[in-house]
């Protein structure tokens, strides 16, 4: 096996056994990027020089016994909507095509403080709006499992980088499924943490009351480790939660005896692909064999999830994206007066999906429509939160498919509505602010990965990770971890 095929845990082992250096590891990933990037297109920017520089510094620290964390020297890729000082942060948009932030976001600061070299910034749907990465203004990203399929979105580049062995792990952001759905399409583990657990400072805002940063990896241990690196209170994010974070890796005991699993019947209804359903049920059987108990639950408000989600997120987006006016950030299309300059800049800078959402959001917030749309949607959101809370009074975690189908082809979703509908199982989680994890549980007839979603109550990341770990161990014993 080559170094670029190792998980972060395996790399950590090699480093601490002094078998390899961080420089060798980074070189191995850069060589793999060189080999496959032409086809996969996971990155918008590859930061080869900075990564090698950081790796050499890590190797010096190792020789001096001055390691800054247990992950010192293990490289990472990051979605291009997180602010990186001195490195372009485009959000997949023409309006920020040449934007170089003057500061690091909190997660980037934490990665640096832990000694992780940054391999580059990954492709995404423009401003994280989309489910296939087809909305990126710059690049096409292919699913490394099958190049004819999308990698999912909006963190498609972050998922493709890990699935294509161009990075051992990565960070994505999830507003309505953007970590879990690409993880599902690419056969990875992805975690959307509880709202407020990971700082959003320096994450370019799409819908501020939904957005969360989270890890993608090829093993549950890697995802737990990355959570240890990035989680925690941050004064710079007013929605950050001030509470102690557990050691997520220590939660991986492999013991789930007595765990109560709920299967929400609305998530197994019409529209769900048979192969996906069969794989989820087989995985649930394995969890039962490991000591869990299962019951059916009901979340009737799921019916309104798509409308509610797209209405509130578009409203928040229309407000958040007002700042791109050609004055302070990025693109400016010069024109005779300032109003025309705003218009020309925004017309040229934003892509069609972003414009659609700005218009929808502005409409929903305008006088006369606010009560009928925005306020109503917020009321539904409250009911959904309650419904989740009621479910979690009965069960510890909920299990659902991550997506109704496996990865679809480029151009297959003919219009926005079709694309929106594919988010049905993931958006409820962000509406409620609870954590959820997607993990691979099998493949369909086309050998495309099937993802299973585990949802927990607020701050139940440990239960999600441990359940995923338990299942991963069962699959390892059965020899089908690569299914």
Q: How far apart are CA 72 and CA 22, in angstroms?
A: 8
| DSSP labels, 234-282 | -TT-TT---SPPP-TGGG--S--TT-EEEEEGGGGSTT--HHHHHHHHH
Write the CB contacts of 236 (distance below 8 Å, at least 6 apart in sequence). Answer: 106, 199, 201
Tell the smallest beta-carbon distance from residue 445 to ligand GLN (Å).
25
- For the CB of residue 158, give the shortest distance to ligand GLN in the complex, in Å: 11
Residue of 83, 93, 136, 178 marked active site: 178
Cα–Cα distance measured from residue 192 to residue 216, given in angstroms and rounded to the nearest whole number: 9
* Closest residue to ligand GLN using C-beta atoms: 178
Of the two residues 106 and 175, which places its CB atom closer to ligand GLN in the complex? 175
Binding site for ligand GLN (CB under 6 A): 128-131, 154, 174-178, 206, 313, 423
Provide, rounded to whole angstroms, the least separation between the CB of residue 62 and ligand GLN.
37
Q: Which is nearer to ligand GLN, 237 or 423 (CB)?
A: 423
Q: C-beta of 423: minimal distance to ligand GLN in Å?
A: 5
C-beta of 181: minimal distance to ligand GLN in Å? Answer: 7
Residue 178 falls in the annotated catalytic set: yes
- Residue 219 bears catalytic tag: no
Q: Which two tokens stand for residue 280?
A: 């989820």
Q: In terms of Cα–Cα distance, which of 156, 161, 197 is closest to 180?
A: 156
Q: What are the Cα distances from residue 400, in Å, to 270, 292, 456? A: 14, 15, 11
Q: Which residues in 317-346 are b (16+ Cβ under 10 Å) and which e? A: bbbbbeebbbeeebbbbeeeeeeebbebbb
Of 177 and 351, CB closest to ligand GLN: 177
The structure tokens 């069960």 sit at 395
Q: Which of 28, 93, 154, 231 is catalytic?
A: 154
Q: How many CA atoms lie within 13 A of 365 on its CB side?
A: 15
Q: Output 156 or 442, the one with its CB closest to ligand GLN.
A: 156
- 201 vs 206 by CB, closer to ligand GLN: 206
- When the beta carbons of 77 and 116 are compared against ligand GLN, the nearer one is 77
Comparison of 178 and 428: residue with beta carbon closer to ligand GLN: 178
For 23, the enclosing helix (H) or strand (E) is helix 22-40
Residues 6 or more apart from 445 whose CB is under 8 A from it?
275
Give me the residue label for tokens 């987006």. 317
Q: CB-hemisphere CA count at 13 Å for 117?
A: 30
In the block, residue with structure tokens 């190049």: 147
Task: Give least dist CB 178 to ligand GLN, A.
Answer: 3
Residue in 22, 79, 121, 131 annotated catalytic: 79
CB of 110 to ligand GLN, least distance (A): 21
Active site residues: 79, 154, 178
């Amino acid at each position: 096996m080559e170094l670029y095929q190792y998980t972060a845990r395996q790399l950590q082992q090699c480093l601490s056994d002094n078998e390899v250096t961080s420089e060798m590891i980074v070189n191995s990933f850069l060589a793999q990027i060189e080999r496959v990037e032409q086809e996969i297109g996971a990155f918008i920017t590859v930061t080869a020089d900075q990564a090698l520089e950081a790796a050499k510094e890590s190797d010096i620290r190792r020789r001096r016994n001055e390691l800054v964390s247990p992950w010192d020297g293990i490289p990472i890729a990051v979605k291009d909507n997180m602010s990186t000082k001195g490195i372009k942060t485009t959000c997949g948009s023409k309006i920020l095509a040449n934007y170089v932030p003057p500061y690091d976001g909190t997660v980037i600061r934490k990665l640096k403080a832990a000694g992780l070299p940054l391999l580059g910034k990954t492709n995404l749907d423009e401003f994280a709006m989309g489910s296939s990465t087809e909305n990126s203004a710059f690049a096409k990203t292919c699913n490394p499992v099958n190049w004819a399929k999308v990698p999912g979105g909006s963190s498609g580049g972050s998922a493709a980088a890990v699935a294509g062995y161009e990075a051992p792990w990565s960070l994505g952001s999830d507003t309505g499924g953007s970590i879990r759905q690409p993880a599902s399409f690419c056969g990875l583990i992805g975690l959307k943490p509880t709202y407020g657990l990971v700082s959003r400072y320096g994450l370019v805002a799409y819908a501020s009351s939904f957005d969360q940063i989270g890890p993608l990896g090829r093993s549950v241990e890697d995802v737990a480790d990355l959570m240890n690196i990035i989680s925690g209170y941050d004064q710079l994010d007013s929605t950050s939660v001030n509470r102690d974070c557990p050691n997520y890796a220590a939660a991986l005991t492999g013991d789930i005896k007595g765990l109560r699993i709920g299967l929400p019947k609305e998530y197994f209804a019409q529209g769900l692909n048979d192969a996906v359903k069969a794989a989820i049920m087989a995985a649930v059987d394995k969890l039962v064999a490991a000591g869990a108990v299962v019951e059916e639950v009901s979340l009737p408000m799921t019916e309104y999830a798509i409308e509610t989600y797209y209405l509130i997120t578009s409203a928040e987006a229309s407000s958040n994206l007002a700042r791109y006016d050609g004055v302070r950030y990025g693109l400016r299309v010069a024109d005779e007066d300032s109003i025309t300059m705003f218009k020309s800049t925004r017309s040229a800078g934003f892509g069609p999906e972003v414009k659609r959402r700005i218009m929808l959001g502005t409409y929903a917030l305008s006088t006369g429509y606010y009560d009928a749309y925005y306020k109503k949607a917020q009321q539904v959101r409250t009911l959904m939160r309650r419904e989740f809370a009621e479910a979690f009074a009965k069960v510890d975690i909920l299990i659902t498919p991550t997506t109704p189908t496996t990865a679809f082809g480029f151009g297959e979703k003919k219009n926005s509505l079709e694309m929106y509908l594919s988010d049905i199982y993931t958006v409820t989680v962000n509406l409620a602010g609870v954590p959820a994890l997607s993990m691979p549980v099998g493949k369909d007839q086309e050998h495309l990965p099937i993802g299973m979603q585990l949802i927990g109550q607020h701050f139940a990341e440990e239960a999600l990770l441990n359940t995923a770990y338990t299942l991963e161990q069962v699959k390892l014993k059965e020899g089908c971890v690569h299914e």
